[in-house]
Amino acid sequence: MLGPADVRELAAALGVRPTKQRGQNFVIDANTVRRIVRTAGVRPDDTVVEVGPGLGSLTLALLEAAAWVTAVEIDDVLADALPATVAARLPERAGDFALVHSDAMRITELPGPPPTAMVANLPYNVAVPVLLHMLATFPTVERTLVMVQAEVADRLAAPPGSKVYGVPSVKAAWYAEVKRAGAIGRNVFWPAPNVDSGLVSLVRRAAPPQTSATKKEVFAVVDAAFAQRRKTLRAALAGWAGSAAAAETALVAAGISPQARGESLTVEEFAAIAEHAPGR
């Protein structure tokens, strides 16, 4: 496990300075890392994918708990160094580790067995798109635990009717049952961020919502509804439907009030609207 001194020593040896551009904040507290692995429910037979491993604090803890770990790292220096850190700190498990040097938003396949779990300290500036991309690309991932900015955690786990319910909430709900799984203090990071962090648990649904519409069609309705979230759905979906009247027709056919707002709808209700898209 890497403690505060280990993390700073390793960073200094590599000439690494955490950058805001990549949202890098390295976890330096071993207890927090163990708590993340425990909360994620990582099992001895799991194949875990980790996005943004940084210097390897969480990677080492995951390797102690899982059968296999694949880490995806975009930073050149960090990607080059991580295999050596694993080999030095956990030599008996180095053969059960793979590193993918890539942008997580671009990957479509991973080495090793299909992943069953994802655990990640996601860079705050790309957390939602990376999470949604990974859920879409790797359907074998049953359980996910991500550490994100507290505000993003609230949005992801928000239920319909909540003030912070929005596009991330609905799209995450397409794939999984989502809930907050705890808070993380600022002092466990180096450098300490100026925002609080939160853990979000996502357990994949047995199947997406039953609908004849495609995910792309449903997500188009979601995007349109929240692009003008203060407006009624009749007005907000006018562009999507071609006119406010056409939007009203689709909404009525789906059993949704044209005067409702997007923040009150479940993912299943968005799917029902998509099924009644004009010209479909």
**C-alpha span between 244 and 260 (Å, rounded):** 14
pLDDT at 27 exceeding the cut of 80? no
**Mean pLDDT for all residues in the chain:** 92
pLDDT at 21 exceeding the cut of 60? no
Measure Cα distances from 176 to 204, 208, 256 in Å: 4, 8, 23
| Range in 6-10, 93-97, 191-195, 258-262 with the lowest mean pLDDT | 6-10
pLDDT at 30 exceeding the cut of 90? no
Distance spanning both ends of the chain, measured CA to CA: 55
Residue 48 vs residue 229, higher pLDDT: 48
**C-alpha span between 42 and 144 (Å, rounded):** 10
**C-alpha span between 173 and 182 (Å, rounded):** 19
pLDDT at 2 exceeding the cut of 80? no
pLDDT at 199 exceeding the cut of 80? yes
- If residue 176 lies in a helix (H) or strand (E), which one and from where to where? strand 176-184
Task: Please report, to the nearest 10 degrees, the dihedral formed by the alpha carbons of residues 221, 227, 231, 236 taken in order.
Answer: -40
Q: pLDDT tens digits for 224-264?
A: 999 988 999 999 999 999 999 999 999 999 999 999 999 99
Q: Specify the pLDDT at position 279.
A: 84
pLDDT at 119 exceeding the cut of 80? yes
> Which pairs count as long-range contacts for 180-188, CB under 8 Å and 24+ apart, including other chains?
180/153, 180/154, 181/39, 181/145, 182/35, 182/39, 183/150, 184/32, 184/147, 187/29, 188/27, 188/28, 188/29, 188/32
> For 122-175, where are the E strands, in sequence order?
143-149
Query: Residue 9 — pLDDT band, cuts 50, 70, 90?
Result: low
CB 124 within 8 A of CB 147: no
DSSP assigned state of 180: E
Listing DSSP states for 39-65 in one string gives: HHT--TT-EEEEE--TTSHHHHHHHHH
**C-alpha span between 65 and 48 (Å, rounded):** 10
Q: In the predicted model, what is the mean pLDDT of residues 125-136? A: 95
- Please give the angle made by the CA atoms of 244, 246 and 251, to the nearest 5 degrees: 90
Q: Specify the pLDDT at position 55.
A: 87
pLDDT at 24 exceeding the cut of 80? no
Q: In the predicted model, what is the mean pLDDT of residues 171-188? A: 94
Query: Residue 194 — pLDDT band, cuts 50, 70, 90?
Result: confident
Q: pLDDT tens digits for 60-80?
A: 999 999 999 999 999 999 999
**C-alpha span between 55 and 49 (Å, rounded):** 16
| Range in 21-25, 28-32, 87-91 with the lowest mean pLDDT | 21-25
Query: Residue 193 — pLDDT band, cuts 50, 70, 90?
Result: confident
Burial of 42 (0-12, 13-18, 19+ CB in 10 A): buried
pLDDT at 111 exceeding the cut of 70? yes
Q: Which two tokens stand for residue 249?
A: 């027709």
Q: Specify the pLDDT at position 192.
A: 73
**How much of the chain is helix, strand and coil, in % rounded to 5?**
45, 20, 35
Q: Specify the pLDDT at position 3.
A: 66
pLDDT at 22 exceeding the cut of 60? no
Q: pLDDT tens digits for 202-225?
A: 999 999 899 999 999 999 999 999
Q: Which two tokens stand for residue 207?
A: 């199947």
Q: Specify the pLDDT at position 180.
A: 97
